[in-house]
Amino acid sequence: MVEPPAHRPPFPVGWFVVAHVADLPVGALAPLAVFGQDLAVGYTAGGRALVTHSVCPHLGADLAAGGRIDDDQVVCPLHEWCFSHGGACTSAADGPIPETARLRVWPTEVVGGTVWAFNGRDGEQPLAPPPVPDGSGEFRTEERPGHPEDVLVGILASGGVADGAPVADDPDTWEGTTPDGRALRVHGPGTVVLRSADGASPVIHVTPVDGFTVMVRLVDGVPLADVESSRADLPGFRSWYRRFDRSAAPARSPARSGRSGRAGSSGRRQAQAGETPAD
């Protein structure tokens, strides 16, 4: 039996699919359990999404329980303090705004009806946009036990992928080949795209919920792998996956965790740990 590696990234750094627009109420915040935290996700009539910590920095009200969101601000349901989409407090009722009143927010993008959030250090911005531009298609979701790395290894192994390598011009993408010659690519820490013979590109998204569970989203009817992850091993893949582990890395060397060569708005941002998102 192959022993799983002793160390895995606790919550890998990069883009993850966290919700679908069709599931979100417009103008309200809903609970979101990802990255080991209680978060809130909202969607506006103007087509913006927001992922934020669910605890109000004033007196700790749950923003996912009655919080409102529009294209300018987030409003806490308890005392109606307001926050920008960048997390800055813009109104503290009738009082002065405390310097420390700030919401943690996660960089978020909506792509084809899919909401992506970038998991990194507080304030860290991605170097590139989400890795898969087309988020449309029928999908179904299920929870699976384990770490994203192990679940991805299980998916690769079930597809018959025995080995592979990082893509030469995009080191945040890893490519293997199935026994029937199809390319199977892993984009960033949580997305698998299979290039089918008929030209379709079904996608699997793997998102960490907590330390023991991941949410798997299957787009366009991909049959989910059923391999016991701990019994599969792809040492080259596991070694590549370490690039999304920032737990012991210097703050100034983030992986891009996005599609190479795309020049979206996030791709033009500076990726500096500790940078405050634009409000």
Binding positions for ligand FES, rule: CB under 6 A: 56, 58-61, 76, 78-79, 81
17 strand-pairing partners:
116
Question: What is the helix, strand, coil percentage profile of the chain, to 5?
Answer: 10, 35, 55
Read off the DSSP letter of residue 232.
-
CB of 57 to ligand FES, least distance (A): 8
Q: Work out how close the CB of 95 gets to ligand FES at its nearest, in angstroms, rounded to a whole number.
A: 11
Do residues 207 and 215 lie in contact, with contact meaning Cβ atoms separated by under 8 Å?
yes
Amino acid at 155: I
Q: DSSP assignment, residue 39?
A: E
> Least distance (Å) from ligand FES to the CB of residue 61?
4
Q: Would you say 17 or 103 has its CB closer to ligand FES?
A: 103
Shortest reach from residue 89's CB to ligand FES, in Å: 9
Q: To the nearest whole angstrom, how small is the minimum distance from the Cβ of residue 90 to ligand FES?
A: 12
Compare residues 60 and 98 and give the one whose CB is closer to ligand FES. Answer: 60
- CB 197 → ligand FES: shortest distance, Å? 54
Nearer to ligand FES (CB atom), residue 41 or residue 219: 41
Distance CA 37, CA 58 (A): 18
Q: Which is nearer to ligand FES, 101 or 111 (CB)?
A: 101
User: Could you tell me the smallest distance in angstroms from the CB atom of residue 79 to ligand FES?
Assistant: 3
- Collapsing DSSP to helix, strand or coil, 31 comes out as strand
Nearer to ligand FES among residue 48 and residue 58 (C-beta): 58
Residue 206 and residue 229 in contact, taking contact as beta carbons nearer than 8 Å: no
Pick 16 or 81: Cβ nearer ligand FES: 81
Q: E-strand spans in the chain?
A: 14-20, 29-34, 37-43, 49-53, 68-69, 74-75, 82-83, 89-91, 105-106, 108-111, 114-119, 139-145, 164-167, 170-177, 183-187, 191-194, 203-208, 213-219
Q: What is the DSSP letter of 154?
A: H
CA dihedral 219, 222, 224, 227 (to 10 degrees): -130
Q: Which residues contact 38 (CB under 8 A, 6 or more apart)?
A: 31, 32, 53, 54, 55, 64
Closer of 63 and 152 to ligand FES (Cβ) = 63
